[in-house]
Amino acid sequence: MLEENEPAIIASLREDLDKPELESSVFEVAMLKNSVTLALKELKHWMTPEKVKTSIMTFPSSAEILPEPLGVVLIISAWNYPFLLSLDPVVGAIAAGNALVLKPSEIAPAASSLLTKLIGEYLDSSSIRVVEGAVNETSALLDQKWDKIFYTGNGKIARIVMAAAAKHLTPVVLELGGKSPAVVDSGINLQVSVRRIIAGKWGCNNGQACISPDYILTTKDNAPKLVGTLKQELEKFYGKNPLESKDLSRIVNANHFARLSKLLDDDKVSGKIVHGGERDKSKLRISPTILLDVPRDSLIMNEEIFGPLLPILMVDKIEDSFDIINTGTKPLAAYLFSNNKKLKQQFVATVSAGGLLINDTAVHLVVHTLPFGGVQESGTGAYHGKFSFDAFTHKKAVLYRSLMGDAPLRYPPYTKSKLRLLKVLMSGNILGIIRALFGWSKA
């Protein structure tokens, strides 16, 4: 499906988001192909029951953990990466043996329509269906009883999803977002670091990505050099008039354009713009924008930006950044740029986020051996690679016992010697078992 329809997929993403072909081809199509290839290669191994040790209490016996499908699952996806975020969970759900309904986002209508068409043509319609629509259709789907709900989006809708799931005690995976920080230390290769920040921010759907750096933390001494390098590299990548650049996605719709404009027009930050800030409402375009020394109580610092605006906060010592991060809600990702081994260790030990990345942004997403997911406000559950298979699987515990060697210890009449022996058997202490068998006291 992906190989035969890549041009149509790229065209639909251009229509919905004006997404550059490279981003569409790499982040939507190629990454999905990798997920499918991995599942085909590893599925036999993933499905194999896992042999586990047993207890002396059940001797003689053997045990295994057997993965089985959950049943019928609902996948509600997002508009910013409408193919990747729809079909990557679908790969896991199919691999695990489930039937499923996919609800793509109505905010990306061209992609939603194409998904419906292609899935109907290529996949088994008796097990896999697409339901298009908006609030009414989503609400109707959430009223049904599912064996699992997988939702990608924002925290506001996630609360509605979780409340609906609670009515049927349905488990959920919530892939959300949050304010993902990037801490920039001094004494690093600033050009490479800035390029990687730009790639993770504006090179990921013009900031409309859950793992994009949401704000930067750096020292007051380092801030001028950081801003200067950001300006220089942004101009190299997107030209002197970035509103005309074909390498930047547009803002998805007028509502999101108005939301981002409100963040920029806030009295507390409108004078803090040190680069960019240009807007074209008719084309839904906002240029890459840097804001320096932004107050922490401003609008832009109290909600996920999800767009091309990048505030910079200044601290006296770089270690102070970790305290600022930890006073907020836990983000989906947190980034550190540093050559300082001790600082890296402190960052990993003290900062809690869905995932951490040192000296780059966003690319942890492509490492299939790492789980991708949030914590607390940034989500619950994880997927990618085997973690996708596990997300849609029940791990069934199976114990096999023989009818031979039936010990009378567990049966009435209960005696003190039986109690003593059962206690030491439960503890697994071999010496204690020998003492109990021979009636020896501990002394």
Task: Please list the active-site residues.
Answer: 175, 210
- What contacts 90, CB < 8 A, 6 or more positions away? 75, 100, 102, 128
Residue keyed to tokens 């809600």: 329
The dihedral sign for the CA sequence 329, 220, 278, 17:
negative
> φ, ψ for residue 69 (rounded to 5)?
-65, 150
Question: How many CB atoms are closer than 10 A to CB 284?
Answer: 18
> φ, ψ for residue 277 (rounded to 5)?
95, -5
**How far is 381 from 390, CA to CA, in rounded Å?**
10
CA distances in angstroms from 242 to 4, 237, 248, 288, listed in the order given: 33, 9, 8, 7
**How far is 28 from 86, CA to CA, in rounded Å?**
10
Fill in the amino acid letter for 15: E
**CA-only gyration radius of the chain, Å:** 27
Q: Beta strands 50-52 and 355-358: pairing type?
A: unpaired
